[in-house]
Structure 1
Amino acid sequence: MAMPSPLPVRNGVGATRLRVPATGPWPTVGAFMTERFFHLDPERLLSRFDQGEIVAIDGAALTRRTPLGVHDFVWYYREPAVEMHIPFEVEILHQDADLLVVDKPHFLPTTPGGKFLQNSALIRLRNLLDNPDLAPIHRLDRATAGLLMFSVRPETRGAYQLLFERREVEKVYEAVSPLPQGWDPGSPALSGLPFPLVHRNHIEKLRGTVRVQVDPERQPNAETLVELIGFDDRVLHTLLRPHSGRMHQLRVHLAELGVGILNDVFYPDLLPEQPDDFTRPLQLLARELRFTDPLTGAPREFATKRMLQQAPQP
């Protein structure tokens, strides 16, 4: 069972829990935290103790002089550095007492992380709807646009999460890639395989790496059905039906097939980190979601209103 936070959600953001060692070279909790967060200004961090912003499990405020070993955990609100604004909005497509479905723009993360806090779909929606219980049922990469589902209340959250765990949600994506060399309009194929084709491999995310690793020696754990939507003299437009939901799966699979997604800075090659270029979004879109509602038994189907800017014209 998750340990309840003694602090309420504030501005859409829940408090962060930090484990404090029972012993060590630090005389106080404050000394431990200033070393733990060495990248922050020490005096500014310690001033948060003075303001009562770092608390124990019972909600009691710690002070600069609280000794190490008294508390196993402390709670506080994150204060990120100046946050870059993402100038695109989340669009609500469906809302009822249990389920929220939205159209997420490119560049906006699903949940807070790294340098993004208020500029995440979750925090924007919690603040917009005044609902601190809102939680994502699944996730999309920050670079990917399209359909995203949230649970409205904890009592029914598990039923929707089980749909994804049991792979009972049909997910459909579309992508735009550069037209591969040697493309034969009369016999469309990727890596010698005619459409529709299935690509499988073993994908693993290793700690401390930004990209996933592919292990050709291990049993496949990721599978995608790739269908052809269309093409022109520049690009290839594909429909993707993932059977599994591994991190970066669609980006990796298309890259392995020789048609890495347009504007992908991770695959097939990891490019140097650069500021976001809002004119060049990743050409990957979560297009459709279908499932049987676990609460009512009724079929549910949702479709994005967004379009990929580089898709060939019909």
Structure 2
Amino acid sequence: MPLSNIEIVHQDDALLVINKPTLLLSVPGRAEDNKDCLVTRLQEHGYPEARIVHRLDWETSGLIVLARDADSHRELSRQFHDRETEKAYTALCWGQPEADSGRIELPLRYDPPNKPRHIVDFEQGKHALTFWRVTARCGDWSRVELTPITGRSHQLRVHMLAIGHPLLGDRLYAHEQALAAFDRLCLHASLLCLTHPQTGERLRFESPAPF
């Protein structure tokens, strides 16, 4: 598959920052028909050394960084593990939150009987923390900025569902009205800040949401 719909936001000898489109895996899936993904496309079209550092869900679009050598991969991975990076997402959620901002601290775990869904589980779930802020109110839905402090799978989607405001177009978690409100998952990685693994410079990247 070509790189035609993949925007390279930044590139240098150490890293690539990509604006990933929706409906593209970050890494290959287990099934044979899920081999097409962001890292494979990059490796096959001029960046054979590209290494994934973190992931975005298949339906989530936006900013993602890849390393171009082993040392950079190690350092960037450490920054994500130690929560030295900054990430923010733009989303559209169903309904109108009563407050203008808040925090969601609910433990999450994978739910094998309903894969690939995740659920809130106070006994077996792993700690997960999200901050949210309403940036616009638009009738049946709201535009929110979501800041995950932890990086659990489906964290933002499950946390917003848990407070009664599922994301629009979410085929896994949205109710019928929220699902029908938009033709894609309205979740976009709009801000990414990290420290350059070679120069030590603090880098900031922004990408406006396409919805």
Matches of 2:200 and 2:35 in 1, distance apart? Answer: 36
Matched, 1:253 2:159: yes
Matched, 1:117 2:35: yes
Matched, 1:287 2:190: yes
8 A contact 2:119–2:158 mirrored in 1:
no
Q: Deviations over 1:240-269 (max 9, x none)?
A: 011000000000011011110011111156
Matches of 1:86 and 1:283 in 2, distance apart? Answer: 24
Matches of 1:217 and 1:155 in 2, distance apart? Answer: 38
Matched, 1:215 2:121: yes
In structure 2, the partner of 1:54 is none
In structure 1, the partner of 2:101 is 196
Q: Kindly provide the amino acid, as one letter, of the partner of residue 201 in structure 2.
A: A
Matches of 1:212 and 1:86 in 2, distance apart? Answer: 32
Q: Aligned residues, how many?
A: 204
Q: Kindly provide the amino acid, as one letter, of the partner of residue 267 in structure 1.
A: Y
Quote the offset at 1:87 in angstroms. Answer: 10
Matched, 1:141 2:57: yes
Q: Deviations over 1:22-52 (max 9, x none)?
A: xxxxxxxxxxxxxxxxxxxxxxxxxxxxxxx
Matched, 1:90 2:21: no
Matches of 1:158 and 1:284 in 2, distance apart? Answer: 28
Q: Deviations over 1:184-218 (max 9, x none)?
A: xxxx52xxxx2320001111125563111311346
Matched, 1:103 2:19: yes
What are the equivalent positions in structure 2 for 1:69-80 lying under 5 Å apart? none
Note the aligned Cα RMSD (angstroms).
Answer: 2.4
In structure 1, the partner of 2:179 is none
Quote the offset at 1:161 in angstroms. Answer: 0.6
Quote the offset at 1:146 in angstroms. Answer: 0.3
What are the equivalent positions in structure 2 for 1:1-314 lying under 5 Å apart? 89-113=5-29, 114=31, 115-118=33-36, 120-129=37-46, 131-180=47-96, 189=98, 194-207=99-112, 209-217=115-123, 221-268=127-174, 280-308=183-211
User: Which protein has greater RCO, CA pairs closer than 8 Å, 6+ apart?
Assistant: 2
Matches of 2:185 and 2:48 in 1, distance apart? Answer: 30
Label 1:122 to 1:268 Cα distance change in 2 as closer, same or farther (>3 A). Answer: same
Q: Deviations over 1:97-129 (max 9, x none)?
A: 0110000011011111132223x1111111121
Gaps of 5+ in 2: 177-181
Matches of 1:171 and 1:150 in 2, distance apart? Answer: 15
Label 1:234 to 1:219 Cα distance change in 2 as closer, same or farther (>3 A). Answer: closer
Matches of 2:189 and 2:4 in 1, distance apart? Answer: 17
8 A contact 1:252–1:268 mirrored in 2:
no
Gaps of 5+ in 1: 1-84, 181-187, 271-278, 309-314
Matches of 1:225 and 1:128 in 2, distance apart? Answer: 37
8 A contact 1:200–1:220 mirrored in 2:
no
Quote the offset at 1:166 in angstroms. Answer: 0.4
Quote the offset at 1:154 in angstroms. Answer: 1.9
Q: Kindly provide the amino acid, as one letter, of the partner of residue 197 in structure 1.
A: G
Label 1:162 to 1:102 Cα distance change in 2 as closer, same or farther (>3 A). Answer: same
Matches of 1:163 and 1:244 in 2, distance apart? Answer: 13
Label 1:96 to 1:232 Cα distance change in 2 as closer, same or farther (>3 A). Answer: same
Matches of 2:18 and 2:25 in 1, distance apart? Answer: 13
Label 1:219 to 1:117 Cα distance change in 2 as closer, same or farther (>3 A). Answer: closer
Matches of 1:135 and 1:91 in 2, distance apart? Answer: 17
8 A contact 1:94–1:100 mirrored in 2:
yes
Quote the offset at 1:220 in angstroms. Answer: 6.0
Matches of 2:200 and 2:8 in 1, distance apart? Answer: 23
